[in-house]
């Protein structure tokens, strides 16, 4: 089922969206209670990367993380930028996202993250 109730969506937003702007930290206990992979995808799709990659790391290391969610996180991380670094130490202030990308690439999903059936030509928007 791909539906999420309004109440559940409000809970996800309260715990995982722009929490750092209010001086809060993400709640791992609430995260671990999630049993619907669609909720992971919703978090990843609306996530503000200014909150840091901790919640995204929780998602990609979870057995509930789908290929679609892993790909969403991978591509939104702008991996081409990180190809200039050979280690997390070299990435300095970008080390956490660099490590997230390395986790994705070594998770067993790595080979298929960059392969997609999405069109490679531009689709005109009327």
* pLDDT tens-digit readout, 59-114: 999 999 998 999 999 999 999 999 999 999 999 989 999 999 999 888 765 445 54
Domain presence at residue 69: yes
Number of domains in the chain: 1
Domain presence at residue 55: yes
Domain assignment of residue 50, given as a range: 6-76
Tens-digit pLDDT profile for residues 23-54: 999 999 999 999 999 999 999 999 999 999 99
Domain presence at residue 36: yes
Tens-digit pLDDT profile for residues 10-29: 999 999 999 999 999 999 99
Domain presence at residue 107: no
Taking CA atoms, 97 is separated from 8, 42, 50, 57, 94, in Å, by 28, 19, 11, 9, 6
Domain presence at residue 19: yes
Domain presence at residue 81: no
């Amino acid at each position: 089922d791909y539906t999420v109730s309004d109440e559940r969506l409000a809970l996800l937003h309260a715990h995982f969206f722009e929490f750092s702007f209010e001086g809060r930290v993400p709640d791992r206990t609430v995260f671990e209670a999630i049993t619907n992979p669609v909720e992971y995808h919703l978090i990843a799709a609306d996530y503000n990367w200014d909150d840091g990659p901790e919640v995204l790391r929780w998602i990609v290391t979870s057995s509930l993380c789908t290929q679609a969610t892993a790909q969403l996180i991978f591509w939104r991380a702008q991996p081409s930028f990180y190809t200039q670094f050979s280690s997390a130490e070299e990435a300095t202030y970008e080390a956490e996202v660099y490590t997230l990308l390395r986790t994705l690439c070594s998770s067993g999903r790595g080979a298929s993250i960059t392969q997609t059936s999405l069109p490679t030509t531009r689709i005109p928007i009327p």
